[in-house]
Amino acid sequence: MTASQKKHDLKDAKYIKYVDRFQIDKGTINRKKKVQRIVSTAVVLLCVAFLIFGGFNLVGANTYAYVLTVNGDEIATMASEGEAQSAIDNYINQLSDKTGMKLSYDDHVQIDKISADGVVYASTADAAKALDGKMNIMADAVGVYIDGKISMYVADEDTARNAVAKVKDYYSADAGKSLISVNVLEKIAVSTTQVALDKVLDENSAVNMLMYGSAGNHYYHVADSGCTLADVADANKIEAAQLSKLNPALTSGELPLGTAVVLTNFDPLISVQVAKEVVENKDLAYKTETIDNAKLARGTENVVTKGVNGKEEVTSKVLETNGVVVSSTRLSGKTLEKPVDQVVERGVKIVVASRGNSSSGILGWPLAGNITSRFGARSLGYHTGIDIDGEVGDTVVAAESGTVIFAQYDGNYGNLIKIDHGGGLATWYAHLSKYYVSVGDEVQRGDSIGSVGVTGRTTGSHLHFEVRINDDAYNPLNYLD
């Protein structure tokens, strides 16, 4: 036995391993059937051992064999050159039948004639099996272009169409009768091309590619206690709504440790926009009506009629992109139950309270500061209010809620604001530098209405504040709290 023959024998032995296995599986040779009861690997090992030690004579009357080699990989030892070629043809044809595509190959195929004693020849079918994964098969396919960019390859235009339709169905199926339209925002085009068969996606893989991009599915395993779905969304920069949709079984609240949260770093190739008309019942908020009651003390409020929300049927147009709501526009509303307005009675009776006298005062201080001039007679004449010291620009606030009835320059008062609190009570704010309110504005107690200034007849910056009841000036200190 020469060195080269020995090499071939060893190679053949490697191959016989295949043959044995296939034949046992198929049960085509009686001799092999008998040993099916024995573990097949043991049989294989035994056969190899026999062959290596030259003690095992195998079938085969020919003294020649044909070794089929693809890209330097030895595939099978065949009885004839024709069978070797047939093995390749069979393999390509089977693949072609399976994929429905016209295929070709781009490989270095070599068939070597060798002298071979006692070799088991591979059948065409077995050789075809052995070729699997060894060849660079090219397919006549179509490239799918999304907004002009090649994005994937599929067998044909129909596959591309079906995949896109499935994605559209996925996002619009829930809409049912409310569906208005479903559109893909990108432009999709196909073009025939030749590409490696392993690059060609089947329909379901194409659907996944369109929906998730090449990133594929990823999982996040909860490792911290107290972790919620919202935390996972935050940590992975995913919309919380999208994450909920991907994980319908996971509810809000703490996730058990080890929970696998489907993340999928979405990089969808297409954006499916679904428009639907959604009808839902919503609460119709009641309004509150306030009635002044001159017999009730100011600051007192009584609910006369309790408000009750009504119900309305609201129709909205909802736009979703890849399952996430991007807008909702109210189209119409139909009242099902009218709300009952709340009626509140508000006391407006002036309570003449005074410091150190009976009850506490009722007005809030319009400005915090020292009183530099009090109410009443003074050298320059009767003072109809109090002066509260302040710097130009200091904020003046409403002493009580009410309506602005005056906001303009008025002689000695300078810039003057008057607020009507109802029931004949009004407060005046003079010498202002700025107005923050205008006539007709409703203000709340404590709202900023203007700022301290030196307008009108004044010697320095301060707020001149008056309390008027039915236009008569009263000492503000009796009303301030």
By the criterion CB under 5 A, which residues form the site for Zn ion? 387, 464
CB of 330 to Zn ion, least distance (A): 53
Quote the least distance from Cβ 462 to Zn ion, whole Å.
7
| Residue nearest Zn ion, CB atom distance | 464
Compare residues 8 and 464 and give the one whose CB is closer to Zn ion: 464
CB of 457 to Zn ion, least distance (A): 9
Run of H or E including 40: helix 40-52
Between 20 and 387, CB nearer to Zn ion: 387
**Residue at 306: amino acid letter:** K
Task: State the minimum distance, in angstroms, from the CB of residue 470 to Zn ion.
Answer: 21
- If the CB atoms of residues 9 and 387 are measured against Zn ion, the closer one turns out to be 387
- Give the residues across from 276 on adjacent strands: 179, 318
Q: Is 59 exposed, middle or buried (0-12, 13-18, 19+ CB in 10 A)?
A: exposed
User: What is the closest distance, in whole angstroms, from the C-beta atom of residue 384 to Zn ion in the complex?
Assistant: 8
Task: Tell me the three state secondary structure of residue 415.
Answer: strand
Nearer to Zn ion, 219 or 409 (CB): 409
Q: CA 255, CA 85: separation in Å to the nearest integer?
A: 60
Of 421 and 464, which CB lies nearer to Zn ion in the complex structure? 464
For residue 65, the surrounding DSSP H or E stretch is strand 64-70
CA 272 to CA 207: how far, in whole Å? 13
E strand map for 157-244: 179-184, 188-196, 200-201, 219-221
CA dihedral 272, 277, 281, 286 (to 10 degrees): 100
Q: Which is nearer to Zn ion, 168 or 462 (CB)?
A: 462
Structure-token pair, residue 45: 């090992």
- How far is Cα 343 from Cα 307, in angstroms, rounded to an integer? 7
Residues constituting the chain = 481
Q: Considering the complex, what minimum distance in angstroms separates the CB of residue 305 from Zn ion?
A: 45
